[in-house]
Amino acid sequence: MPNAVEPPTESPSRLMAAYELLADGSGPPWRPLAGGTDLMVQMTGEIGEPPERVLDIWGLDELRGIAIDADTLSIGALTTYTELRHSALVADVVPALADAAATIGAAQIQNRGTIGGNVVNASPAGDTLPVLLAVGAEMILGSSSGERVVAAGDFWPSYRTTARRDDELLLRIRIPVVPDRQVRFRKVGTRRAQAISKVVMALAWRARDGDPWTDVRLALGSVAATTVRAPAAEAAMEGRRPDRDMAEAAAAALSDEIVPIDDVRSTADYRRAVAGRVLRRLIRDAGGW
Ligand SMILES: Cc1cc2nc3c(=O)[nH]c(=O)nc-3n(C[C@H](O)[C@H](O)[C@H](O)COP(=O)(O)OP(=O)(O)OC[C@H]3O[C@@H](n4cnc5c(N)ncnc54)[C@H](O)[C@@H]3O)c2cc1C
């Protein structure tokens, strides 16, 4: 039976007040509510675990804003997809993140849904997650006992779980600013909007014009229980130029190493084949052939 009862809700306007509530162990855990585009769907209990207590964090200005210092781009957890799409800093440092934001839902979802919600919701189909994994992002978590940093590679340990403790908020996401880095994003869904991905991919590498690629990082969603890297495909690209041989080797390695599942959105065979094709096309576009 769907649960129609509204859970108790608090809406603190200061971070410290939010931390105090989160630290209160006398009841069930508080579930942070950001844009609500995932959590509201879970409210009735028909999809996912319904929240027993809701902490509305929309009023916490400390979780907003996009800023850059010498070597890090910092994105507040409450940054919406619309804000990501319009940010000059994101366009400069990691335009692939704006590309990912542009594929999420439609305008209503983009105006309300946040990058922090996407990260903590931890869906293996979450569209920003492959970009964050490919660029080596760091998640900054905060609680009444201070802040800590968790690398994207450690943030989603298993299906729909995160490294976040119940008393913590995701405050912001840090992306290293790396010279000569390129990042590309591709999503394959049933439609071009309002589609959950069948395969979603981000590819990052470093190279000056025409030089071999280094520091190659390939991350995929919707092909495993969590967002994953593809080390064999990365190895097939590392130290090479983006020519046909490299593309064939990388695509073959990728199709061999991923183990997707059949589900309502796609078959495993389709996902394996399309992942290889998308990677081949990304490399072809980068190589200009
Ligand atoms: C019609 C529709 C289409 C969609 N299309 C896509 C799509 O194409 N691609 C895609 O990836 N997703 C899609 N989504 C899912 C959703 O919009 C995104 O995951 C969005 O980023 C969630 O952000 P939010 O702010 O709404 O999170 P919320 O729903 O508020 O929260 C999501 C989860 O994260 C937790 N949380 C949120 N912020 C924090 C924080 N700062 N600290 C700690 N915990 C936090 C919440 O407790 C909850 O568990 C779609 C959803 C809908 C309804």
Task: Report the separation in Å between the CA atom of 26 and the middle of ligand 1, taken as the mean of its atom positions.
Answer: 27
On whether the pTM is more than 0.85, the answer is yes
Q: Which residues line ligand 1 (CB under 6 A)?
A: 31-39, 41, 57, 63, 77, 104-105, 109, 113-114, 116-118, 120-121, 126-127, 164, 169-170, 196
Q: Could you give the percent of the chain with pLDDT greater than 70?
A: 97
Task: Report the separation in Å between the CA atom of 57 and the middle of ligand 1, taken as the mean of its atom positions.
Answer: 13
Residue 156 has pLDDT above 80, yes or no: yes
Task: Report the separation in Å between the CA atom of 213 and the middle of ligand 1, taken as the mean of its atom positions.
Answer: 34
Q: Evaluate whether the domain defined by 65-176 bears CATH number 3.40.50.1000.
A: no
Helix (H, G, I), strand (E, B) or coil at 17: helix
Mean confidence (pLDDT) of the chain: 94
Please name which of 143, 113, 141 lies closest in space to residue 128, comparing C-alpha atoms.
113
Residue 287 has pLDDT above 60, yes or no: yes
> What atom in ligand 1 is closest to the CA of residue 125?
11
Helix locations, 24-102, DSSP H: 39-42, 81-86, 88-93, 95-102
Q: Give the span between the Cα atoms of 207 and 170, in whole angstroms.
A: 32
pLDDT tier at 49, thresholds 50, 70, 90: confident
- CATH 3.30.465.10 spans which residues of the chain? 65-176
Q: Give the span between the Cα atoms of 232 and 243, in whole angstroms.
A: 18
- CATH 3.30.390.50 spans which residues of the chain? 181-287
Sequence-ordered strand ranges (E) for 120-210: 138-143, 146-151, 169-176, 181-188, 199-206
Residue 57 has pLDDT above 90, yes or no: yes
Residue type, position 216, single letter: V
Please name the residue that has the structure tokens 């992306």: 175
Task: Report the separation in Å between the CA atom of 249 and the middle of ligand 1, taken as the mean of its atom positions.
Answer: 36
Please name which of 86, 149, 141, 77 lies closest in space to residue 115, comparing C-alpha atoms.
77
Q: Read off the pLDDT of residues 58-116 as tens digits, 9 standing for 90 and up.
A: 999 999 999 999 899 999 999 999 999 999 999 999 999 999 999 999 999 999 999 99
**CB-based contacts of 23: which residues, under 8 Å, 6+ apart?**
143, 144, 167
Q: Give the span between the Cα atoms of 202 and 183, in whole angstroms.
A: 7
Beta bridge mates, 183: 204
Atom 38 of ligand 1, nearest CA residue: 117
Atom 4 of ligand 1, nearest CA residue: 105
Atom 2 of ligand 1, nearest CA residue: 105
Instruction: Give, for ligand 1, the residue of 42, 58, 64, 104 to mutate: max count of ligand atoms closer than 8 Å to Cβ.
Output: 104
pLDDT score recorded for residue 265: 78
> What atom in ligand 1 is closest to the CA of residue 108?
1
Task: Give the CA-trace dihedral at 257, 282, 263, 258, to 10 degrees.
Answer: 10
**CB-based contacts of 60: which residues, under 8 Å, 6+ apart?**
12, 13, 14, 15, 18, 78, 169
pLDDT tier at 1, thresholds 50, 70, 90: very low
The one-character DSSP state at 104 is S
Atom 47 of ligand 1, nearest CA residue: 32
Atom 36 of ligand 1, nearest CA residue: 117
- Indicate the CATH number for domain 181-287: 3.30.390.50
Q: Read off the pLDDT of residues 238-262 as tens digits, 9 standing for 90 and up.
A: 999 999 999 999 999 999 999 888 7
Atom 1 of ligand 1, nearest CA residue: 105
Q: Could you give the percent of the chain with pLDDT greater than 90?
A: 85
Selected residue with higher pLDDT from 4 and 148: 148
